[in-house]
Amino acid sequence: MEKNTSNESCSLKEQNLAYGGSALIEGVMMRGKSGMAFTVKKPDGSLYKEYSDKPSIGERIKPLGWPFIRGIVGFVDNMITSSKVLNKSGEIAFPEPPQDAVGVGDARTQESPSNHYAKKPTIWETILSWLLMLLTFAIVIVIFMIVPRMLPEVANKIFPDINTFTAENYPFLYNLVSGVLRLVLFFGYVLIISLMPDMKRVFGYHGAEHKTINTYEAHDDLTVENVRKHTRLHPRCGTSFIFIVFLITLFVFPFFDIFLYRMAWFKSIADIQFGTKLQHLIVIAFHIVIGMPIVSSISYELLKLSAKFQKTWIMKIFIAPGLFFQLFTTREPEDNMIKCAILSLAMVLGDEAVDTPRHVDDDIVISHKTPIAAAVTAVLMLPIIMMINGDDNGI
């Protein structure tokens, strides 16, 4: 009997780890293994809801859900999905003025939300979206990859006495200094954007998402009052993932430096004009193209591990820096933010119909305890265990 109880406890823990999400513009997206849902607050106070029952790519193609593969695939899949939903949430929260002045407002109000916002973007909108994504990616590479890599080299020029401090001579120490600089830049970036009014609201929705997931994992009913009581920090947050990535790069990247500096063709580049800078760019390319997939896969598994064993002292120490950063990327949410998060999670759980009209003034109570309570009463947890199909989607 004790063995069954232990199995049931582990299974419920795995089920809890199946759900995650992200903050949107005036809304929250939640994801599960079998689908995705999001809720956005519209200008008139009504709540736009959308649900997709498309399983995660790891579910559709089983090998892509294997350990150390799922982290890379999930990262790319989440980035693409989140970008699309983020753009859509902006269109819903801040719609463009209607082209036709007569009757458009009434028609929009009566029109099915899923029909109104399901229109495909034009080719130019798609191109612009991809260009913005590429530009963002380029900026991230410059700030968090190129600058930290080049700064120690600049120090060599300023202080000739330390000109032996190179990636070739001290690969691990050089990458440690670069990693610390990368972390400082990231922290500075977070601090700056946390002061922007628009980002404060996004971070409020981020806090609502975390609080709602924490409420669900505590097996409490999803109500505004219950959600408000829980912490806005969560170990599976993407902020924690980023910190783990920074940490793992300190151990993975130096091996690429060692490998490259042993190659004759690579060492010969230093003899040409701007050769040292070109060497750094080649190393960065290796770090991004080959190193980052390795780092991401390891970091993802560590993130899952930290969530499963977050009560142990060693994991508490491990996740503490990520939780600290969340103090800046989350804020205490308003009630309407919490409602968006509750409805999104409820749709993924199957406790909320997408076509049920909702407004920010509605009292929202979602109870997910009924099946569990019934199972406990019957002293039979097998149905719940069989329903578990969750995987960590990251939040």
Q: DSSP of 31-57, one letter per residue?
A: E-SS-EEEEEE-TTSBEEEEEE-PPPH
* Lowest mean per-residue pLDDT among 26-40, 214-228, 311-325, 355-369: 355-369
Residue 71 φ/ψ, nearest 5 degrees? -65, -45
Burial (CB < 10 A; 0-12, 13-18, 19+), residue 324, is: middle
* Lowest mean per-residue pLDDT among 67-76, 132-141, 377-386: 377-386
Higher pLDDT, 8 or 329: 329
* Lowest mean per-residue pLDDT among 174-188, 273-287, 308-322: 308-322
* In the predicted structure, residue 314 carries a pLDDT above the cut 90: no
Arithmetic mean of pLDDT, 357-382: 54
Arithmetic mean of pLDDT, 232-249: 88
Nearest to 65 by CA among 349, 240, 304: 304
* In the predicted structure, residue 274 carries a pLDDT above the cut 50: yes
* Lowest mean per-residue pLDDT among 31-35, 40-44, 88-92, 388-392: 388-392
* In the predicted structure, residue 377 carries a pLDDT above the cut 60: no
Arithmetic mean of pLDDT, 296-304: 89
Side chain identity, residue 132: L
User: CA-to-CA distance for 191 and 201, rounded, in angstroms?
Assistant: 15
- Residue 75 banded pLDDT, cuts 50, 70, 90: confident
* In the predicted structure, residue 392 carries a pLDDT above the cut 50: no
Q: What is the mean pLDDT of the chain?
A: 79
* In the predicted structure, residue 105 carries a pLDDT above the cut 60: no
Cα separation values, 381 from 3, 34, 143, Å? 13, 21, 50
Predicted local confidence at residue 10, as pLDDT = 45
Count other Cβ atoms within 10 Å, centred on residue 84.
12
Predicted local confidence at residue 227, as pLDDT = 96
Side chain identity, residue 316: K
Which tokens sit at 355? 């076509």
Q: Name the percent of the chain lying above pLDDT 90.
A: 34
- Residue 378 banded pLDDT, cuts 50, 70, 90: very low
Which residues are CB-contacts of 27 (< 8 A; sequence separation ≥ 6)? 38, 39, 40, 41, 48, 89, 92, 93, 205, 340, 344
Predicted local confidence at residue 18, as pLDDT = 67
Arithmetic mean of pLDDT, 198-203: 89
Arithmetic mean of pLDDT, 45-54: 92
Arithmetic mean of pLDDT, 53-59: 79
Do the beta carbons of residue 185 and residue 144 sit within 8 Å? yes
Which residues are CB-contacts of 110 (< 8 A; sequence separation ≥ 6)? none
